[in-house]
C-alpha cells in the first residue's frame, strides 16, 4: 500500500496546551492541502519538553475535551500526537497517541526515560511497560518515542510483532558542534541509527524531531523518512521549523524482505532462552574457564566453619 506521510517539525510553546492545539490545527490543515494521509508530530509537542513540575498541570485524560478535539481533527488526516497522558490511577506518562478516523487507535507510553545529563524524565514520568505493533488503515506499524530507539530491543520487538514502519516522535537536543559539519554530533548519531534500523529490520523509519529553543536548549530538527534499503525519502531542515513530506510504499518492504529475509530467519526460541539465562545469571558476573562458563562458580558458598570428618564427638 502507498500513502503520503508528513512530519510537522514544529517549535511548541512550553506549558501551553491551548496554543499548541492551534498549532496542531494549522499543521493538519496544511497537511491536508498537501495530500498527506498521515502526519507525525514531535515528542511532547502538545506541551513542550522541559515541563518538570508542570507535568500534572498539562496532563490529559482520555475523556478530556482536548482529547475529544484531537479525535475530531483526525477525521481528515491520521496523526501522531506527543503529549502527557494521565492514567486513571493518577500516573503521568510521556505518551505518543495515534489518532485515525476520529478515534484513538494506539497509545505508546515511553519505556526508556532518560535521567542523565540535561534529562530528568524519570523524576516526573511513569515508565511504560510494553512494546506493541498496531494495525492502521495503512498497514501494521510500530510507535516508539525518542530514547526508546537508543535501545535496539524496542525496534526488534516491534519488527517481530509485524511492524512495516516505525513512527518515532522525538525531542532531541543539539549536542557536539563540529566545525565544517552541516549538523551536530547528536544529529549524525540519530541519522546513523535510523539508517541502520531501516536496513537491519527491513522497514521504514519515520523520525519526527522538533526544532527551536526551550529553556536555553536548542533542538536540531532534521526529521527524516528512511526506506528499508536505507535510502533517504525526505529530509527536514536542520534547526528550523519545517514540514516534511514523503511517499511510502509497503511494496518496498516486501522487496527488501524478499532479497534479505533476516526477520524470517529469526530464532525466537533461541533469543528467549538466552535472555532467560542472562536474567538468572548472578549479578557478580561470570567466571570463565578456557572461555567457557564455569557453572560450579554459580553455586552459593556455604557459610560457617567446616567440621573435620575425623574429629571425634564428645
State the pLDDT at residue 290.
47
Give the C-alpha separation, 83 to 95, whole Å: 6
Average pLDDT of the residues of the chain = 92
* Residue 248 vs residues 227, 257, 261: alpha-carbon distances, Å: 8, 16, 20
- What is the count of structural domains for the chain? 1
In this structure, is residue 314 part of a structural domain?
Answer: no
What is the average pLDDT across 127-147? 98
Q: Give the SS3 label for residue 219.
A: strand
Q: Among 210, 198, 312, 167, which Cα is nearest to 262's?
A: 198
pLDDT given at position 191: 97
Specify the pLDDT at position 181. Answer: 80
Report how far Cα 135 is from the mean position of its chain's Cα atoms.
Answer: 17
Instruction: Specify the pTM.
Output: 0.88
- pLDDT tens figures, 194-245: 999 999 999 999 999 999 999 999 999 999 999 999 999 999 999 999 999 9
Residue 191 domain-assigned (yes or no): yes
Which pLDDT score, from 0 to 100, does residue 289 have? 47
For the cut 50, the answer to whether the pLDDT of residue 110 exceeds it is yes
Is the residue at 183 inside a domain?
A: yes
Crossing angle between the packed helical segments 152-160 and 185-201, to the nearest 10 degrees: 30
pLDDT score recorded for residue 284? 62
The confidence score (pLDDT) of residue 179 equals: 74
**What is residue 174's predicted lDDT score, i.e. its pLDDT?**
92
> Residue 288's pLDDT is what?
46
Higher pLDDT, 10 or 307: 10
Could you tell me the CATH number of the domain that includes residue 167? 3.60.110.10
Distance (Å, rounded) from C-alpha 41 to C-alpha 28? 10
Task: State pLDDT tens for residues 261-289.
Answer: 999 999 999 999 999 999 998 876 554 44
Does residue 38 surpass a pLDDT of 80? yes
> Which residues partner with 97 through β-bridges?
81, 107
> How many H-runs (helices) and E-runs (strands) does the chain carry?
7, 16
Whether residue 141 lies inside any domain: the answer is: yes
Q: Which three cell numbers stand for residue 193?
A: 541509527
Residue 277 lies in a domain: no
DSSP 29-42: HHHHHTT-SEEEPP
* 19 pLDDT more than 80: yes
In a domain, 289, yes or no: no
Task: Tell me what pLDDT residue 282 has.
Answer: 86
Domain that holds residue 136: 2-269
List, in order, residues 6 or more apart from 296 with CB less than 8 Å away.
none
- Between 233 and 305, where is the model more confident? 233
CA quadruple 58, 158, 146, 74: dihedral sign: negative
- Looking up cell 495515534 gives 98
Q: Is residue 185 part of a domain?
A: yes
pLDDT digits (tens, 9 = 90+) for 51-63: 999 999 999 999 9
In a domain, 85, yes or no: yes
Amino acid at each position: 500500500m502507498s500513502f503520503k506521510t508528513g512530519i510537522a517539525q514544529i517549535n511548541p510553546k512550553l506549558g501551553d496546551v491551548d496554543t499548541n492545539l492551534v498549532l496542531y490545527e494549522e499543521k493538519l490543515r496544511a497537511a491536508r492541502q498537501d495530500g498527506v494521509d498521515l502526519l507525525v508530530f514531535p515528542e511532547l509537542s502538545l506541551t513542550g519538553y522541559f515541563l518538570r513540575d508542570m507535568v500534572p498541570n498539562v496532563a490529559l485524560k482520555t475523556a478530556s475535551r482536548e482529547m475529544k478535539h484531537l479525535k475530531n481533527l483526525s477525521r481528515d488526516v491520521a496523526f501522531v500526537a506527543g503529549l502527557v497522558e494521565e492514567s486513571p490511577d493518577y500516573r503521568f506518562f510521556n505518551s505518543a497517541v495515534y489518532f485515525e478516523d476520529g478515534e484513538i487507535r494506539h497509545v505508546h507510553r515511553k519505556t526508556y526515560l532518560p535521567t542523565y545529563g540535561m534529562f530528568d524524565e524519570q523524576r516526573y514520568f511513569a515508565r511504560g511497560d510494553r512494546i506493541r505493533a498496531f494495525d492502521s488503515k495503512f498497514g501494521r506499524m510500530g510507535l516508539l518515542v525518542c530514547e526508546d530507539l537508543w535501545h535496539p530491543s524496542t525496534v526488534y520487538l516491534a519488527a517481530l510483532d509485524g511492524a512495516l514502519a516505525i513512527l518515532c516522535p522525538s525531542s532531541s537536543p543539539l549536542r557536539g558542534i563540529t566545525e565544517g559539519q552541516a549538523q551536530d554530533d547528536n544529529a549524525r548519531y540519530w541519522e546513523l541509527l535510523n539508517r541502520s534500523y531501516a536496513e537491519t529490520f527491513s522497514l521504514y523509519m519515520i523520525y519526527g524531531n522538533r526544532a527551536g529553543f526551550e529553556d536555553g536548549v536548542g533542538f536540531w530538527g532534521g526529521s527524516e523518512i528512511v526506506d528499508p534499503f536505507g535510502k533517504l525519502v525526505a529530509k527536514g531542515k536542520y534547526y528550523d521549523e519545517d514540514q516534511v513530506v514523503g511517499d511510502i510504499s509497503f511494496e518496498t518492504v516486501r522487496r527488501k524482505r524478499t532479497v534479505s529475509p533476516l526477520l524470517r530467519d529469526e530464532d525466537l526460541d533461541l533469543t528467549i532462552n538466552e535472555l532467560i539465562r542472562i536474567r538468572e545469571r548472578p549479578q557478580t558476573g561470570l567466571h570463565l574457564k578456557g572461555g567457557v562458563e564455569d557453572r560450579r562458580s554459580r553455586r552459593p558458598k556455604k557459610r560457617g566453619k567446616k567440621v573435620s570428618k575425623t574429629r571425634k564427638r564428645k
